[in-house]
Amino acid sequence: MNKRLVLFLSLLMNIAIFSQQTDTLQIVRADTLQTVQAVQIAQENQDESVFKGRFSDSIDEIWELRESYKRGTFSLRAYRPNYIILSRYSTNPNRQPIGLNMNRAIPEYKNFQNIEAKFQVSLKVKVLQGAFWNKGDLWLGFTQQSFWQVYNGKMSRPFRETNYEPELMFIYPLNLTAGKFRIKMAGISVNHQSNGKEELLSRSWNRLILITAFEWGDFAITNKLWQRITEKGDDDDNPSIQDYVGRTEFTIGYARKKHIFSLVLRNNLNFKHNRGFAEFSWTYPIKGTLKMMLQASHGYGDSLIDYNHKQTIIGVGAVFQSL
């Protein structure tokens, strides 16, 4: 009996010791798991903070690619920058815009000045949210650019040119990463652009545009590659416009402290007869939401009426806060 009692007590002690060791091991495992999760969260936060506060992060905000940026439908947002250039100087103003449609007459010469003003108003609205796997968005956009001979009193200060650009865009978020290179989104746009003038000075075209946006380090890059919807004969206001204005466009943005730099590059992708357009902009805050802007450009297609006209332009103005 004594031997059995001793054996029974010994068994109970071993079970108690094993149970205590098991509880201790579970606590250690739980603590280890929490530590691993904390490290993973810290790494994710650190990874996201690489782009925090830099220009590239605005891709997510502009197109509401992340859930935290979503604002629903039918609310006006800024699309492209909204600005006014109070004074811009052209080395070669287009005083007699001649198109390439040989069936149309040559317009009269007008004594436009080298200096004029320009403003851009650009808005978009989301009309459908969460299409295709609850991710894609459908947007309507509208951009207007006006070129104003405001200092030309002899001609009663006319608007030399105004361009209207409505478009329908489908945007789908992506999150493809290779090192510092991140593809943020892809989309397609049906785009119309025209100047609303009579036949002799009429300029218009329609395009299907493939859109991609990506980040590379501190740079935000948007690419547009388009195919013109062709028109025939007399209906074509601007034959061969893609050979001058281009077939693709890159917009590159970079932010450094309070400075924001952007570069727009268009090219016709024809290496034998290469043409295109380049525009550099620099903005810096003045007071509150108002920012100063310096803009310089060179090439073809500063406006639709100038699609086949080459000039160099520099101007100073102000950018207004986005909606």
The pLDDT tens digits of the residues spanning 36-56 come to 343 343 333 333 333 343 444
Nearest Cα residue to 145 out of 172, 108, 117: 117
Name the nearest CA neighbour of 182 among 221, 232, 127, 128.
Answer: 221
Gap between the Cα atoms of 308 and 312, Å rounded: 13
Distance of CA 303 to the CA centre of its chain: 19
When the candidates are 2.40.230.10, 3.40.50.2300, 3.30.470.20, 3.40.309.10, the CATH number that belongs to 53-320 is 2.40.230.10
Q: pLDDT confidence of 322, banded at 50, 70, 90?
A: low
Q: What is the token pair recorded at 198?
A: 């009579």
| Percent of the chain residues topping a pLDDT of 90 | 74
Q: Bridge-partner residues for 172, per DSSP?
A: 186
| Residue 50, pLDDT score | 34
- Note the pLDDT of residue 249: 98
**What pLDDT, in 10s, does the model give residues 60-75?**
999 999 999 999 999 9
The closest alpha carbon to 114, from 98, 96, 97, 92, belongs to 92
Under a CB-based contact definition with an 8 Å cutoff, are residues 280 and 295 in contact? yes
Give, for 3, the enclosing helix (H) or strand (E). Answer: helix 2-49
In this structure, what are the phi and psi dihedrals at residue 276, rounded to the nearest 5 degrees?
A: 175, -155
pLDDT for 301 equals: 98
Higher pLDDT pick, 288 / 155: 155
Closest CA to 119 of 253, 321, 319: 319
In angstroms and rounded to an integer, the radius of gyration of the C-alpha atoms of the chain is: 30
Is 86's pLDDT higher than 80? yes
Catalytic site positions: 192, 194
Count of other CB atoms within 10 angstroms of residue 235: 9
Q: What is the mean pLDDT of the segment spanning 309-322? A: 92
- pLDDT tens, residue by residue, 289-306: 899 999 999 999 999 999
Tokens in use for 225? 């590659």
